[in-house]
Chain A
Amino acid sequence: MKKIENLNYYELLEVSPTATSQEIHKAYEQIRRVYEPNSLALYSLFTPEETASITQRIEEAYRTLVYDEQRKKYDAMLRGRDVLPDLPPPPPEEMKYQPLSVQPMLTLPAENRYIGAPKSPAPKPAPPKPVPEMVAPVSQFIAEFNGSAIRMLREQKGFTLRHIADSTKVGTRYLECIEAEVFQKLPARAYIRGFLILYAKTLGCEPEKMASDYLKRYDAAMKLIKK
């Protein structure tokens, strides 16, 4: 348990130290709304001065974490302090950085059934190098997105169809059909494209590539059916 003044920036914004900058931005927008003056949920706990000082710290935290350079400096400082016992959940050193690069996770070659043996010369992309975009690395390894590839990707990320459905607002039935490539049960082509783009964004892979690959298969299959 910590006093508010002792919370580090990540705890203050309620994000994990491995959060991406998009996540940080989102968390900041939400928490700023919580700690605005006149907030219903707060006035009976915190005095206006306290609320103001918390808000100020939140701003500070956001401005530090959202810029890569400053975040690195701050992380380094935290790691330096982690030795101190007063930070009870001490994420081991690497934890601070690695996830940044691991986080487009599918690239972990050892476990990735997808990448297969031949790709093994490209093992772990050097951990200290932060990966700027979560998109690129995945698609390098997956030559073509088809239904089962999408499912594998999803399972590797540990998502259930329910999770995907919750964030894309596409029904699980359609998602199932997309993964199983049951093209007849899917709606018109234009809708599928929309679904795929949403799905790809949730998985963190390249939307355009996933949609076009998949639709190529779709078109081929549909042509056969029509004949």
Chain B
Amino acid sequence: MIELQDALRKKEIWAIGGGKGGIGKSLITGNIGITLARLKKKVLLVDADLGGANLHTTLGIGVPDMTLSDFLNRRVENLQDVIIKTSIPNLGLVSGAQDFLDAANPNFAQKTRLMRHLETLDADYVLLDLGAGTSFNILDFFLFADHGILVVLPEPTAIENAYRFIKSAFYRRFKRVVADQNIKNLIDAAMDQKNAMGIRTPYDLIERVKSMDREVGEILELEVLKFRPKLVVNQVRTKNDIQIGFAMKSACQKFFGINLEYLGYVEYDDCVWQSIRSKRPLTVEYPYSRPSRCIERVVHNLLRKEQITRSMLY
């Protein structure tokens, strides 16, 4: 039944996250959206960075009249009505909540209503721009999407946060599939790196769960296989920076047992900074710049469900 529904749903929802702030999530989301729109896909950008929304700025739009807060506060019944048109054909935007204090913390009902509406939207691709951090709301949007894309910088801080993000998303996903409260508690305890039970890796956790309930352990093992986040390395300056993506892929495979798909990298260039300063989207202002090219490559890999390999590089 579920498979049938999946097959019928033609739309794909992509979420772009990454744990750390300031790593270019909004920039990449916006420009992936523009690139897709140029390929004649109907694209909708949703600024799910509640409480810190600025996707409209990366697209060169002023503060919009209608935002998600109108929807969340039920001033507007339908999410469809808060979509604003952008200057780019085929590209719509649902701007993030801006004005009310509690916007960053929607309650459960608001969140599920938003997700339900997201699923009914008419578009080929819906891109969710997530905020920084690993709060439950962000993780839930990340897991809700069909494809989760992680952005990372070749810097220790960003990489650390990316792993933390993967781990949190992963364990949250685990928690959603198990019903048993004891196992839920175990997963919570395992999140703590220095837990008393010596559970360090997801592998340890699964072994542990298996010893409690074999069936649940096997379900979790399946979940591991199904969880395939994607990776984009932003602000790449050297060859070694590009390699970091492969290194992370390998480390994730060995540590978490997760298949991280390395979609591509975006080169560092001053034109990114200039485009943000002039409040014009990168791929519109500098369509032939190297970062724009890199983003196109990322989009192609996403569409073809491919990833980059070492042999492609030099």
Q: How far is the CB of A11 from the nearest CB of chain B, in Å?
A: 9
- B156 pairs with A40, CB closer than 8 A: yes
Within 8 Å CB of A3, what residues of B? 201, 203
Q: Among the listed B203, B244, B250, B311, which residue makes an inter-chain contact with A40, where contact means beta carbons less than 8 Å apart? A: B244
Choose the segment among B21-29, B37-45, B251-259 that binds chain A (4+ C-beta atoms closer than 8 Å).
Answer: B251-259
Does chain A have a CB within 8 A of B154?
Answer: yes
Within 8 Å CB of A39, what residues of B? 247
Within 8 Å CB of A1, what residues of B? 202-203, 206, 221, 224-225, 257
Q: A1-B257, A3-B203, A41-B244 are in contact. Are A30 and B310 (CB under 8 A)?
A: yes
Which residues of A does B touch, CB under 8 Å? 1-4, 7, 14, 30-31, 33-34, 39-46, 54, 166-167
Does chain A have a CB within 8 A of B160?
Answer: yes
- A7 pairs with B254, CB closer than 8 A: yes
Within 8 Å CB of B253, what residues of A? 14
- B247 pairs with A41, CB closer than 8 A: yes
Residue of B nearest to A44 (CB): B160
Within 8 Å CB of B159, what residues of A? 40-41, 44
Chain B positions 252-297 with a Cβ under 8 Å from a chain A Cβ: 253-255, 257
Name 15 A/B residue pairs within 8 A (Cβ), A-sorted: A1-B202, A1-B225, A2-B203, A3-B201, A3-B203, A4-B254, A14-B250, A33-B243, A34-B250, A40-B156, A41-B250, A41-B251, A44-B159, A44-B160, A46-B255
Q: A14-B250, A40-B244, A44-B159 are in contact. Are A166 and B203 (CB under 8 A)?
A: no
Within 8 Å CB of A30, what residues of B? 246, 310
Within 8 Å CB of B144, what residues of A? none
Q: With the chains together, A224 CA to B128 CA distance in Å?
A: 63
Which residues of B does A touch, CB under 8 Å? 154-156, 159-160, 163, 201-203, 206, 221, 224-225, 243-244, 246-248, 250-251, 253-255, 257, 310-312
Within 8 Å CB of A42, what residues of B? 247, 251
- A45 pairs with B251, CB closer than 8 A: yes
Residue of B nearest to A41 (CB): B247
- A34 pairs with B203, CB closer than 8 A: no
Prevailing SS type, chain B contact patch: helix
- B224 pairs with A54, CB closer than 8 A: no
Within 8 Å CB of B155, what residues of A? 40
Prevailing SS type, chain A contact patch: loop
Q: With the chains together, A42 CA to B251 CA distance in Å?
A: 7
- A34 pairs with B251, CB closer than 8 A: yes
- Most A CB atoms within 10 A — which of B221, B224, B247? B247
Q: With the chains together, A7 CA to B255 CA distance in Å?
A: 12
Within 8 Å CB of B311, what residues of A? 166-167
Q: With the chains together, A33 CA to B310 CA distance in Å?
A: 13
For the complex of A and B, list the 9 residue pairs with the smallest distance between their C-beta atoms, beginning with the closest: A41-B247, A1-B257, A34-B247, A44-B160, A41-B248, A45-B255, A34-B250, A3-B203, A41-B251
Q: With the chains together, A42 CA to B162 CA distance in Å?
A: 12
Q: How far is the CB of A185 from the nearest CB of chain B, in Å?
A: 26
Q: With the chains together, A221 CA to B312 CA distance in Å?
A: 35
Known contacts A40-B159, A44-B156, then 7 further A-B pairs from the complex at CB < 8 Å, ordered by chain A residue: A1-B202, A1-B203, A1-B221, A4-B255, A33-B247, A39-B247, A44-B163
Q: How far is the CB of B242 from the nearest CB of chain A, in Å?
A: 12
Within 8 Å CB of B246, what residues of A? 30, 34
Q: How far is the CB of A39 from the nearest CB of chain B, in Å?
A: 6
- B254 pairs with A40, CB closer than 8 A: no
Q: How far is the CB of A46 from the nearest CB of chain B, in Å?
A: 7
Q: With the chains together, A46 CA to B201 CA distance in Å?
A: 10
Within 8 Å CB of B257, what residues of A? 1-2
Within 8 Å CB of A44, what residues of B? 156, 159-160, 163
Q: How far is the CB of A198 from the nearest CB of chain B, in Å?
A: 14
- A40 pairs with B163, CB closer than 8 A: no
Q: With the chains together, A42 CA to B160 CA distance in Å?
A: 9
Q: With the chains together, A46 CA to B163 CA distance in Å?
A: 12
- A40 pairs with B251, CB closer than 8 A: no
Q: How far is the CB of B246 from the nearest CB of chain A, in Å?
A: 7
Residue of A nearest to B247 (CB): A41
